Amino acid sequence: MSRVCEICGKGPASGNTIVRKGSPKYKGGIGLHTTGITKRRFLPNLQEVRVSDGKGNTKRVKVCARCLKNGKVVKA
Give the domains, in start order, of the chain with CATH numbers: 13-70 (2.30.170)
Compute how many other C-beta atoms are within 10 angstroms of the C-beta atom of residue 67. Answer: 19
Name the pLDDT band for 1 (thresholds 50, 70, 90).
Answer: low
Give the tens place of pLDDT for each residue, 22-44.
999 999 999 999 999 999 999 99
CA distance 72 to 69: 8
Q: pLDDT of 56-72, one tens digit each? A: 889 999 999 999 999 99
Q: What is d(CA 29, CA 60) in angstroms, rounded to the nearest whole number?
A: 54
Phi, psi values for residue 52, rounded to 5°: -100, 130
- What's the confidence (pLDDT) of residue 75? 86
Q: Taking the CA atoms of 23, 28, 29 and 30 in sequence, report the sign of the dihedral they define.
A: positive
Global pTM reads 0.74
